[in-house]
Amino acid sequence: MSEELLTTEHKPDFGENYPLIEQLRTGTPLSSMPEADMPALCDEIRRFLVEKVSAAGGHLASNLGIVETTVALHRVFDLPHDRLIFDVGHQSYVHKILSGRIDGFDDLRKPGGLSGFETMRESPYDAFGTGHASTSISAALGYAEADRIAGRETYTIAILGDGAFTGGMIHEALNNCKKDLNLLIILNENEMSISKNTGRFAGHISKMRTSKRYFRFKHAFVRFFDSIPLVGPRINSGARAVKRYVKNAFYGGVYFEDIGIKYFGPADGNNYAVVRYLLEETKHKGGSSILHLRTVKGKGYPPAEADPAAYHQIGADYSGNFSSHFGEKLCDMAAEDDKICAITAAMETGVGLSAFHQRFADRFFDVGIAEAHALTFAAGLAAAGMKPYAAIYSTFLQRGYDSILHDIALQKLPVRILVDRAALSSADGATHHGIFDVSFLSAIPNLYLFAPMSFASLDRILDASRDTALPMAIRYPNARENPEILHAFFENGAPDALIHADFTDKEQNIAVIVTYGKLAAEALTAAKKLTAQGFPCGVILMELLKPYDTSAAEVAARLPGHAAAILFMEEGIRNGGAGMLTFDALRRTHADLMKNKVTDILAIDDNFVIPTQNENIYRTAHIGANDALRALIHLLAKLKNNNS
């Protein structure tokens, strides 16, 4: 496969470059295409993915590795009557190609375009919305149980990577599986091994169990001894016990069969013929089954095969942003303090901890896809006198809410939580929006909440965190420093301040916007537009959100004493957010100041923010500069009426 695909600028001629995909695109059912064409179709799909994902950005290596398996699934099962659920869903691109969404790849991961994950609103072929890991078996189990109750013969297939097994939900779901369900679980092993299959004999056993001759012999063996009166069934039972012992000794498939799930594999998941045969075999046998496949991440594209981590997500740049700066700063701190340790939940690179891992391996912990465990584990470290820093994406921190509340805050343990990706996520969509953390963290006592918007501020907060006596959360977006925000709030501000103001003239300002996070850039634009209309407007940037009485006192000191319109702008959910709590604190503690003010909150209302085609995500959420300008004009009209 040529690297020139990465720089292709013209729209491909499907008839010339992708003749088999063109057949699918123009309505030819996959089921009617010749079996002999399937290897060529797999090759076309790989070339198509490299071209499209390289242009649009997205997950490449994982999709290249799952091509043959996905094609075989679509050939063997009756989709969407049968259901296919991908864990996380970032490896569902091949599934989208095969289910009528080929043309959508030009708008992959764009607002209103083709989602980078499975989503039920996009296609009936997407049986369940995904985006977070380790949910697939639970959802598939729900479908399978519903089918059992209704007497349907429908199959449900969950396909998950080996990394998903680090998440507790997978094991909770497996614990509830029944052997008589039409449920197939495909374990796609592409990086780490769940069980050690080493040695020539283990390799021979694996090859034997996935061959047609093995299954033919097994069926004949069972039929022969079942036909012998009295002793036959006992012989078969003894043979199964021996088989289970051998399997346990050499590749551990007994883990699944102990909980009533038939185990097949491991097998080559990049061999279409092998995968198709095994799928047909599991479907024929019925009941709950595990099919263990081994695939090569980045298969068919040499750069991705050589470095699958680099090609896991095309277009992801982690350099120079708040995450990488945090990682660099933590390394400096750890070099001076041997009690500092770092925790991530399977996001080492994304949260900026790769260098920390290399330099301080004995104090670095990647706990896998287990956010709740990560936080309670951090609580244990803190209780033992260590200084833990747990870096977790905002959208995944939701999974650890109980651990923060019960195990950290209630016990006043000084865990430092770094809330990464704290903002709207334009490319990844609603499953990855970091818009709920302020609301749910604000409800937790004994917790400090910061929102630094300069590297210098982040450094000051991290320096102070070394000796904190209470837990704290430090939230920041997946972004670099914004020059406009730096110029407005940090060039002449107090170096140790956590509340900043950008006012032309405080005494002249008739309007003020209070905000936090990267939405401050939109606030500055709105303020300039209002000022240009003859209504001087200032902006206050909060980098300390909680305790709210403390932050409100700092905000009050920067508000004009005369009658004015105050708008709180928030890139977060309105309910229980910083706007509600800041205004509440101002009214309780600065009643005289607030009695001549009119106020409003511009925040994300009760929705998940799903944009339409090519729409700016701030416009979708109704929190952009123009939305703020309209809200301020409405407040000024209200202020005028109050004073007349």
**Rg of the chain (C-alpha set):** 28
pLDDT at position 219, please? Answer: 57
- Whether the pLDDT of residue 14 is over 80: the answer is no
Closest CA to 129 of 164, 161, 160, 86: 86
Segment among 127-136, 224-233, 352-361 with least mean pLDDT? 224-233
Mean of the per-residue pLDDT values for the chain?
86
Strand 58-59 and strand 313-314: the pairing is antiparallel
Pick the CATH number of 322-475 from 3.40.50.970, 3.30.70.360, 3.40.50.1110, 3.30.465.10: 3.40.50.970
CATH of domain 3-195+252-306: 3.40.50.970
- Whether the pLDDT of residue 550 is over 70: the answer is yes
DSSP three-state, residue 571: strand
pLDDT at position 381, please? Answer: 97
Place of tokens 């008589």: 180
Q: Is 218 among the catalytic positions?
A: no
More confident: 399 or 257: 399
Quick check: 621 and 595 in contact, CB under 8 A? no
User: 423: which residues sit within 8 A by CB, 6+ positions away?
Assistant: 394, 433, 434, 435, 477, 478, 479, 517, 518, 519, 571
pLDDT at position 379, please? Answer: 96
What value does the mean pLDDT take over residues 233-257? 53
pLDDT at position 475, please? Answer: 97
Give the confidence band of 602 by pLDDT, cuts at 50, 70, 90: very high
Segment among 159-168, 380-389, 538-547 with least mean pLDDT? 159-168
- Tell me yes or no: is domain 498-643 CATH 3.40.50.920: yes
Q: Which long-range contacts (CB under 8 A, 24 or more apart) does 440-443 make?
A: 440/398, 440/401, 440/576, 441/404, 441/473, 441/546, 442/545, 442/546, 442/548, 442/576, 442/577, 442/578, 442/581, 443/576
Distances (CA, A) of 274 to 212, 267, 268, 356: 9, 8, 7, 42
pLDDT (tens digit, 9 = 90+) per residue, 556-567?
999 999 989 999
Distances (CA, A) of 100 to 22, 159, 292, 613: 11, 20, 28, 19
Q: What is the DSSP letter of 406?
A: I
- Whether the pLDDT of residue 307 is over 90: the answer is no
**How far is 616 from 589, CA to CA, in rounded Å?**
38
Among residues 51, 68, 348, 371, which one is catalytic? 371
User: 363: which residues sit within 8 A by CB, 6+ positions away?
Assistant: 334, 338, 340, 341, 342, 356
Q: Is 297 among the catalytic positions?
A: yes
Segment among 112-126, 207-221, 493-507 with least mean pLDDT? 207-221
Distances (CA, A) of 509 to 18, 89, 407, 630: 62, 50, 45, 17
- Whether the pLDDT of residue 155 is over 90: the answer is yes
Q: Which helix (H) or strand (E) holds 267?
A: strand 262-268
More confident: 346 or 195: 346
Phi and psi at residue 259, to the nearest 5°: -105, 20
pLDDT at position 9, please? Answer: 44
User: 332: which residues sit within 8 A by CB, 6+ positions away?
Assistant: none
Domain with CATH 3.40.50.970 in the chain: 3-195+252-306, 322-475
**How far is 60 from 301, CA to CA, in rounded Å?**
10
Report the percent of the chain where pLDDT is more than 70. Answer: 86
Among residues 247, 399, 460, 574, which one is catalytic? 399
pLDDT at position 7, please? Answer: 38
Joined tokens for residue 545: 């959100």
Segment among 118-132, 333-347, 513-527 with least mean pLDDT? 118-132
Give the confidence band of 41 by pLDDT, cuts at 50, 70, 90: very high
- Whether the pLDDT of residue 39 is over 60: the answer is yes
Closest CA to 636 of 580, 565, 539, 586: 565
Give the confidence band of 3 by pLDDT, cuts at 50, 70, 90: very low
- Whether the pLDDT of residue 231 is over 90: the answer is no
pLDDT at position 198, please? Answer: 34
What value does the mean pLDDT take over residues 474-491? 94
What value does the mean pLDDT take over residues 491-512? 81
pLDDT at position 609, please? Answer: 86
Tell me, rounded to whole angstroms, the distance of Cα 635 from its chain centroid.
38
- Whether the pLDDT of residue 6 is over 70: the answer is no
- Whether the pLDDT of residue 37 is over 60: the answer is yes
Report the percent of the chain where pLDDT is more than 90. Answer: 62
Range among 24-28, 318-322, 365-369, 386-390 with highest mean pLDDT value? 386-390
Quick check: 434 and 395 in contact, CB under 8 A? yes
pLDDT at position 312, please? Answer: 80
Quick check: 290 and 261 in contact, CB under 8 A? yes
- Whether the pLDDT of residue 244 is over 60: the answer is no
DSSP three-state, residue 336: helix
pLDDT at position 203, please? Answer: 43
pLDDT (tens digit, 9 = 90+) per residue, 400-430?
999 999 999 999 999 999 999 999 988 888 8
Rounded to the nearest 5 degrees, what angle is found at the Cα of 606, between the Cα atoms of 446 and 555?
A: 45
Place of tokens 């990465």: 6
pLDDT at position 497, please? Answer: 82
Among residues 297, 460, 546, 574, which one is catalytic? 297
pLDDT at position 213, please? Answer: 53
Give the confidence band of 235 by pLDDT, cuts at 50, 70, 90: low
Segment among 234-243, 452-461, 586-595, 632-641 with least mean pLDDT? 234-243
Give the confidence band of 204 by pLDDT, cuts at 50, 70, 90: very low
Q: Is 528 among the catalytic positions?
A: no
Segment among 155-159, 161-165, 235-239, 453-457 with least mean pLDDT? 235-239
Domain with CATH 3.40.50.920 in the chain: 498-643
C-alpha torsion 546→549→550→556, nearest 10 = 120
What value does the mean pLDDT take over residues 442-447? 95
Closest CA to 181 of 89, 261, 265, 294: 261
pLDDT at position 225, please? Answer: 57
What value does the mean pLDDT take over residues 367-375? 93
DSSP three-state, residue 481: coil
pLDDT (tens digit, 9 = 90+) per residue, 47-57?
999 999 888 88
pLDDT at position 310, please? Answer: 75
Beta-bridge mates of residue 500: 541
Give the confidence band of 625 by pLDDT, cuts at 50, 70, 90: very high
- Whether the pLDDT of residue 245 is over 60: the answer is no
Which parts of 367-516 are beta strand (E)?
Answer: 387-393, 416-420, 448-450, 472-475, 499-502, 511-515
Segment among 20-24, 78-82, 301-305 with least mean pLDDT? 301-305
Joined tokens for residue 201: 């004999």
pLDDT at position 206, please? Answer: 43
